[in-house]
Structure 1
Amino acid sequence: MTGGGGEEGELQLLGAWMSPWVIRVKVALQMKGLSYEYIEEDLQHKSDLLLGSNPVHKKVPVLIHDGRPVCESLVVLEYVDEAWAGAGTPLLPADPHDRAVARFWATYVNDTFFPSWRPLFRATTAEQRAEAYEKVLPQVETLERALTECSKGKAFFGGDAVGIVDLALGSFVVWIRAVDEFGGTSLLDEARVPGLAAWAERFMAVDAVEEVMPEAVRIMEHYKGFLAKLAAPAASS
């Protein structure tokens, strides 16, 4: 149930259990104390509901509030924060400049960090992995500096509590760890990015995160299956 700031209404979330973009929305809904119906999508055979709710991108997550869809995870996070402003912890700062800075870094995670990390995620050989790892390190070091700027010495990008930047980056932590474990890399290395390394531990220990975050072993199994399919065409050629 919501703690105020607008009626909850009927809520549905269309998602895929392993998706970082869906995970961040699930955590936000948990933080706000909102009840919703979760509908798992088969992304190989997308439902009419998904295609009709997000006809432009045809992707998850989609939050449907009283029959009206909201698409794109960062947009959904802001919608949830505004529609249920009186519930739970605010996801965006009150100060306009701080809010703009938070939006900038959340967008950086989507538009800069993720495209830089994706080759490491998809690497199937040691050579590919080593090259991709070196290329993503500057973005991780930039996020280390962003944590200092946004947190102002507190526990999270959002200050004392998890905010939109924490959700944007934190939804990748379980995946970053799986890729590192599989490939022998260490993206959140305590020696290189001590702030981010400690932040990741704090984020994963937040109650709302623990409630919805997929188990690491399940993510690893999915990742191994993904890499096997990715490597199969190369092996058969």
Structure 2
Amino acid sequence: MEQNQIEITKLLQQKIFSHPSITRFNSYSRAVFDKLSKCHTSKIGVHQYRCNNTNCNHVHYQYHSCGNRHCPTCGGMRREAWIEDRMSELLPTQYFHIVFTLPQELRSITMGNRKLMFELLFQSAHYTLIKLGHDPRWLGAQLGIVSILHTHGQDLSFHPHIHCIVSGGGVTKEGNWLQSKRSKDRFIFPRRVMEKIYKAHFLKQMYSKFCNSELQIENAEK
């Protein structure tokens, strides 16, 4: 893996940062590429290790890692640790996989307002699931939800969406477990019902942010 990191570092330095006039980044992307290009190099520090054996005294230098989650070395280890932690939290029930996304028309705005729009994406997805989970018509309990943001699609295009892993049941006000009424269905709640609530909540919150001058439309294309 370290050899792969060295090759990626060389690629970034030779092909991307050496041609600033033809390579355009937003500030976030440039910061990420900058960290990746310095991973396991002297630019971010080094540790010195020396053998305690007086007959050896061998010295080894270990360059620091960047620690960025996008890094194939640093991010890979963090990802594996995260997965192990989530596996330990699994409940003895079935789970549903639900994806919430943004339409093409909102992606340019999202590019210029990433933090705010990603927060709205999480909030709206959670609001939808929790609202329907508490509704006795569909369940009547508190769901367990794990949400993961993906900013790009499989073709590497900018396509923000959230993957939600939802427990097939929840805990009632009395503290009892209540199994989902739709255990044999693909979705824990009707898809069109989720779509309607999610869309309405997202647009309402987005409009509120715009009215409060928190949403920078004019910078969305940059």
Tell me if TM exceeds 0.5: no
| TM-score normalised to structure 2 length | 0.25
More helix by share: 1
TM-score when normalising by structure 1: 0.24
